[in-house]
Each structure stands twice: as C-alpha cells, then as structure tokens.
Chain A
Amino acid sequence: MILEASNVDTFYGTSHILQEISLSVGEGEVVALLGRNGVGKTTTLRSIMGLSPPKRGSIRLRGKEIAGIPPYEVARLGVGYVPDDLRIFPDLTAEENLEIARRLSGRDGYWNRERVYELFPKLSDLASAKGINLSGGEKKMLGIGRALMANPSLILLDEPSEGLAPLVVANLVDVLGRIHGQGVTILLADQNLKFCRKVCGRGYILEKGAVRFGGGMEEIWGNEEVIRKYLVV
C-alpha cells in the first residue's frame, strides 16, 4: 500500500468533521472519494497533505507515519496536491508556476516542462501569461501540470471534473489515463460517478465524514441502493 489511513479524526475548531476514516490506496491505483457536498472529501485530502492535521488516527505513506507532519515534508515525501480551486500563484507566470514546483521538489523524473506541455499543448502558448489572467480550464491544466512537475508518487486531486464541459471531461479522462500510465498513483475526490467510473478502479463513498461504502467502481455503479442513498441528490 502506498497510502493507508486508519481511524482518522479531523476537526475544524470544535466541529468534528472526519469520523474514523479508514482507507487505503495501492501502488499504481486510481481511487475515488465519492459523496455529496460537504461530506468531507476535501477535508480527507487536506488531512493527508498535512494542511488540516488529524487529531487522532494514523496516516502512513509507504509505511511511514505522516499524520501531523507539516505539508512541506509531506510534499517532499512525494505527495502532490491539486486543490479544487487550484490556487495557481497569481503573480507568477504559468511557466514559473511549473518551475517552482519542480525546483522545490528537488526530484527529477519522467515529468518535466516538455512532457507537461505535451500533455497540455495549450499551456505552452500560455507560458508567459500570469496566473491571475488564466481561465478556469487553463488553471485546471496548470494545477495538474504543476503537481506533476514535482514527480510525485501519489497525487491528491480534488474535484477534477467540476465545472468542465462534457467534451473537456472526456479529454481529462484521457489525460488522467496517460498520467496513470506513467505509474502515478491518484486519489481523487469527485461527485461525478460517470467520470469516476471511467478513470478509477475503486472508490470509497463518504457521508457525514465517515466511509459508508468501499468497493470496485463497477460494484458501486451496479449498486442502486448505495447510489440512491449516498450519491444522487
């Protein structure tokens, strides 16, 4: 297992958000976190990244305990994070956003500027555009590209399909397939079951900060009761 979380409890102030979350992600897997708005998907990713450290429980990365260590150490251990709002640095150019990630990681690997531009040809035209001037879709490409530049072994991807037109979602499925093809493990949070079925092998369904169901994507897809209870609005 590359990632193993067990009985993770996370609080925002006094509100108890994550309630004994346990999940695991194997080397080379693409795993989905599913669930309606506000169930704790983002908080789970933030807890792993160290941005919202858990109060109790354990998170192990390749066996090493990372619960509660600061985000910069989690990053250096090979975890990449693409937040739902992408958080592109507004006064750096697209290329500087990419380069800063590579240089900070101190790692070289398959992913570099050329490979990222190959994956997202549009980004190479935008290389010298400031982050603040990019569109939502362009920021999404840059956010994913920036995470890749660090050559992480695990990427945490929050709401990748959110706000994208169907055609663009189809392209994203292809892109994630290519990233996965290079051996990158992905844990993604998304509400779009159809999309997750195309890119993920397994999934966990969250409700009220707890894992309610876990299984293969086809198993989830075929389970009408679970879908009705936890997923459709």
Chain B
Amino acid sequence: MQSYVHVILAGLSNGMFIWLVASGLTLIFGVLGVLNFAHGSFYMLGAYGSFTVLKYLGAGFWTGLLLGPLAVCAAGFVVERFFLRHVYRIALPYQLLLTFAFVLIFDNLVKIVWGGGALSPPSLSFLGGSIPILGRNFPVYNLFIIAVGPAVALLLWALLEKTWYGRIIRASSSDREMAASLGVRVPALFTGVFVFGTWLGALGGGLAVPYVGLLTPGMGEAIIIEAFIVAVIGGLGSLKGAFVGALVIGVMSAFGTRFFPSFDMFLTFILMGGVLLWRPQGLFGAAR
C-alpha cells in the first residue's frame, strides 16, 4: 500500500512536468495550428536559463524561475515572428521540418554557450529535504511540483474562459479570418500566444532544474516526445486532454519503471496505440 502511494506520487510529479511542456505545445497547436517540435528546446533553454541565474548571478530560486523563462520568451518571439509565421499556410510536414531545424539549432547553441557536458545545479535550501508520507520519505520539492501543475491549469482555464484576451483567442482560433474582419490584429495575437506557450515550456524547464539533477543539451528531446504522446492521447489542441493525459502517462510510466523496468516507454506507446484505436481523435479531441 505504502509503496503504491509513493509510486503514484512520483508519477504525478513526473506527469506535471510533462503537463507543463504539453500545455504550451497544446495551446500553440490549438490556436495557431502549428505542431512545434522545438517546444522541448524551450524547456531546455528554460532550465539552462534558470540555472545560469541561480549559479552565476547567485540569485535565489524564485528569481531564477522568474528571469530564466522570461529570457527564453525572446527566443520564442524570434522563432514565431521571423520564421514560423511564414509557414502557417504550408503543409504540416514543412512546419515540422522547420521546427525540427530549431531543435538542432538550440541544442548546438546550448553546447556552444554552456558546453556539451552535464551541469549539476546547486542544491536547494528552500523546498529541499523530505517529509514522511505513510512512513516513507518523499521530497518536498516534488510535492511542490504536484501543486504547481494544477495551478498552471487553473491559470490557463481562467485566462481563456474568463478574460477578454481569452475570448479573442478563442474566437481567433476557431476563425482567424472572421476575427480579423472584426478588428483583431491576428498576426500580433498569434505572436503573443506563441510567446506565452514558450514561457510555459520554459517554466517547466526552470522548475526542472532542482528536480532532474543534471542538465544536458539533449534534455528537451525526451520530454517533447512524452508531451507529444500526451497531447495526442488527450486530443490535439485540447488543454483538458493534455492535463488528463499527462497524469495518466506520468502515473503509468511510474508503475512501468517500478514493476517492469525494461518496458518503461513501451507501456506508454501501447497506451497511446490503444487510445488511438479506440478514439482516433484522442480522449477530449473533437471528432473530425
């Protein structure tokens, strides 16, 4: 019993990182219609950015979390404004190709700036340590992550459903021509949504700094694959789907790692295959 609870908790905290990356990916796909393969790079850059603020500026955790991802937003701005914008009307494979190019560019950029080796972040004083849960210790930081995930989900929901900008975003994502005909500056709005999605991915990276132990130039790739799987299972473009999918995948792969260590990712792919056979549009996707 006690060990199950711990596996579930570990799965939930893993799932929340996947959610943070999947949320930006999903938002960008839902509104702009672009599948951004480079989204994992924003996660990586967010981690390196926060790490740099922590280590070289000697700032505290919150400052790192604030400044790191904020700096990555500039990269998101450049990617959308000068590159992606020109491929919205082109077939999906070309979009994927372009965003994949950015994966390689950002990986190399990180190697040039921070070196190719793994970096280990300074240990946390605050939110560090463990507390006993059912008689076994569980890291406080992981509990913090389990709380951040739903907080971000709530923030996104409120932003999209309860604010004026959210209403414009929903209108523009369902019909960008009509929105433009009513006065929405659609290209600028899309840049804004892309940069916000970038921030979500980078925030995931910033939060990962104390969690993953080591930062490596390829760290965005593993998580973007999981985030893609989660987005597909949940239904591409559905934030609710991404959230539920991340929880399911997080917990499932925690059980996989615990009980069938050699089949870890295999189980995830089986689950994706099963969901797609049963509901090709994903759990919360609209049927086409």
Find chain B residues with CB under 8 A from A96 CB: 167
In the complex, the chain B residue whose C-beta lies closest to that of A102 is B182
Find chain A residues with CB under 8 A from B262 CB: none
Which residues 68-98 of A sit at the B interface, judged by CB distance below 8 A? 70-72, 74-76, 81, 83, 87, 89-92, 96
Q: How far is the CB of B204 from chain A (nearest CB, A)?
A: 27
B181 and A75 contacting across the interface, CB-CB below 8 Å: yes
The 5 lowest CB-CB distance pairs between A and B, nearest first, are A104-B183, A71-B180, A75-B183, A87-B178, A81-B181
A100 and B177 contacting across the interface, CB-CB below 8 Å: no
Q: How far is the CB of A11 from chain B (nearest CB, A)?
A: 15
Find chain B residues with CB under 8 A from A100 CB: 167-168, 171, 182
Pick 28 A–B contacts, CB within 8 A, sort by A. Answer: A49-B181, A51-B180, A51-B181, A71-B181, A72-B180, A72-B182, A72-B183, A72-B184, A74-B181, A76-B183, A83-B178, A83-B181, A87-B175, A87-B177, A87-B178, A89-B170, A89-B179, A90-B174, A92-B170, A96-B167, A100-B167, A100-B168, A103-B164, A104-B182, A104-B183, A105-B182, A106-B183, A150-B183
Q: How far is the CA of A188 from the CA of B187 in the complex (A)?
A: 29
A70 and B177 contacting across the interface, CB-CB below 8 Å: no
Contact A91 B183, CB 8 Å, known A96-B167, A100-B167, A103-B164:
no
Interface centre among B170, B181, B187 (most CB of A within 10 A): B181
Q: How far is the CB of B288 from chain A (nearest CB, A)?
A: 14
In the complex, the chain B residue whose C-beta lies closest to that of A96 is B167
Q: How far is the CA of A103 from the CA of B171 in the complex (A)?
A: 13
Find chain A residues with CB under 8 A from B184 CB: 72, 104
Which residues 26-71 of A sit at the B interface, judged by CB distance below 8 A? 49-51, 70-71
In the complex, the chain A residue whose C-beta lies closest to that of B186 is A72
Find chain A residues with CB under 8 A from B187 CB: 70
Q: How far is the CB of A13 from chain B (nearest CB, A)?
A: 11
**In the assembled complex, B185 has its CB within 8 A of some CB on chain A:** yes
Which of B170, B178, B182 makes the CB contact (< 8 A) with A91? Answer: B170
B164 and A89 contacting across the interface, CB-CB below 8 Å: no
Interface centre among A71, A74, A146 (most CB of B within 10 A): A71
Q: How far is the CA of A50 from the CA of B185 in the complex (A)?
A: 13
In the complex, the chain A residue whose C-beta lies closest to that of B171 is A89
Chain A residues at the B interface, C-beta cutoff of 8 Å: 49-51, 70-72, 74-76, 81, 83, 87, 89-92, 96, 100-101, 103-106, 146, 150
Q: How far is the CA of A50 from the CA of B184 in the complex (A)?
A: 13
Which of A76, A92, A150 makes the CB contact (< 8 A) with B171? Answer: A92
A71 and B167 contacting across the interface, CB-CB below 8 Å: no
Interface string of B142-177 (1 = CB under 8 A from A): 000000000000000000000010011011001101
Q: How far is the CA of A150 from the CA of B167 in the complex (A)?
A: 17
Q: How far is the CA of A129 from the CA of B159 in the complex (A)?
A: 21
Contact A89 B174, CB 8 Å, known A96-B167, A100-B167, A100-B168:
yes
B177 and A72 contacting across the interface, CB-CB below 8 Å: no
Interface string of B244-271 (1 = CB under 8 A from A): 0000000000000000000000000000
Find chain A residues with CB under 8 A from B177 CB: 51, 71, 87
Q: How far is the CA of A71 from the CA of B174 in the complex (A)?
A: 17
Contact A75 B170, CB 8 Å, known A87-B177, A103-B164:
no
A89 and B168 contacting across the interface, CB-CB below 8 Å: no
Find chain B residues with CB under 8 A from A106 CB: 183
Q: Using A90-B174, A150-B182 as known contacts, list a sample of 17 further A-B pairs with CB atoms less than 8 Å apart, ordered by residue number in A.
A: A50-B180, A51-B177, A70-B180, A71-B177, A72-B183, A75-B181, A81-B181, A89-B170, A89-B171, A89-B175, A89-B178, A92-B167, A96-B167, A103-B164, A105-B182, A105-B183, A106-B183
Q: How far is the CA of A67 from the CA of B183 in the complex (A)?
A: 16
Find chain B residues with CB under 8 A from A90 CB: 174
Q: How far is the CA of A123 from the CA of B174 in the complex (A)?
A: 22
Which residues 180-214 of B sit at the A interface, judged by CB distance below 8 A? 180-187
Find chain A residues with CB under 8 A from B167 CB: 92, 96, 100
Interface centre among B171, B183, B184 (most CB of A within 10 A): B183
Find chain A residues with CB under 8 A from B175 CB: 87, 89
In the complex, the chain A residue whose C-beta lies closest to that of B185 is A72
Q: How far is the CB of B172 from chain A (nearest CB, A)?
A: 9
Q: How far is the CA of A72 from the CA of B164 in the complex (A)?
A: 17
